[in-house]
Amino acid sequence: MTKSELRKVYLEKRKEITEPAYLQFNHAISERFFSLVDLSFVKVVHSFLPITANKEFDTWLIIDRIRREFPHIRLSIPRINKKTDLLENFYFEGLHQLESNSWGIQQPKQGDPIKNEKIDLVIVPLLAFDRTGHRVGYGKGYYDRFLSTCRKDCKKIGVSFFPPINKISDTTEYDFRLTSCLTPEQTISFG
């Protein structure tokens, strides 16, 4: 299937998730993250801020726990720059820093910018992913452009409520592959 076809299918699949299943999936992925991801040498983690109304993975479970249990790690959050059509990244300071954009996504209204090459690990949003580590996002290309500016050794960890599909048929050289993807049932690593 193409990205466009998969986007429609997986947006619909997300809508069909019941509230109890949504809470359970979020908890399972968060626990998987902390049990399998070695954070001992990580200095900066980038995380998207979720649109929970669209049943995106609730990254606040990871953000809040990192802030409590890993004080040596700084958090980076994105803001869409509508002039350049790129993600800008800022250190997360607290909820007072956030405002909603026109899509209902919380993003920083101010803060200390961070250079992308300082980021060690990125929690990547997605709708679907395949067995080779390619992903389908919302179609705007923000994360592919952002990931292209990160260091080669930066970990790119996707989060999905669903297992991988066999293959996304229309990937290109501009599509960045994930390092791994976490689902409620498994962790899939990509070589």
pLDDT by residue (tens digit) across 106-146? 999 999 999 999 999 999 999 999 999 999 998 888 999 99
pTM for this predicted structure? 0.94
When the pLDDT of each residue in the chain is averaged and rounded to a whole number, the result is: 94
Name the pLDDT band for 46 (thresholds 50, 70, 90): very high
Three-state secondary structure call for residue 47: strand
- Which is higher by pLDDT, 88 or 100? 88
What b/e readout covers 78-91, taking b as 16+ CB neighbours within 10 angstroms?
bbbeeeeebbbbbb
Tokens of 53: 């109304």
pLDDT, residue 94, reads 92
Tokens of 142: 């923000």
Q: How many helices (H) and strands (E) does the chain have?
A: 4, 11
Does the structure show a pLDDT above 90 at 104? no
Instruction: Supply the range of the domain harboring residue 135.
Output: 3-189
Mean pLDDT value across residues 94-114: 89
When divided into structural domains, the chain yields a total of 1
Q: What percent of the chain has pLDDT over 70?
A: 100
Q: Report the CATH number that the domain containing residue 141 is assigned in CATH.
A: 3.40.50.10420
Does the structure show a pLDDT above 90 at 174? no
Does the structure show a pLDDT above 80 at 75? yes
Tokens of 75: 């958090």
pLDDT, residue 123, reads 98
Does the structure show a pLDDT above 90 at 38? yes
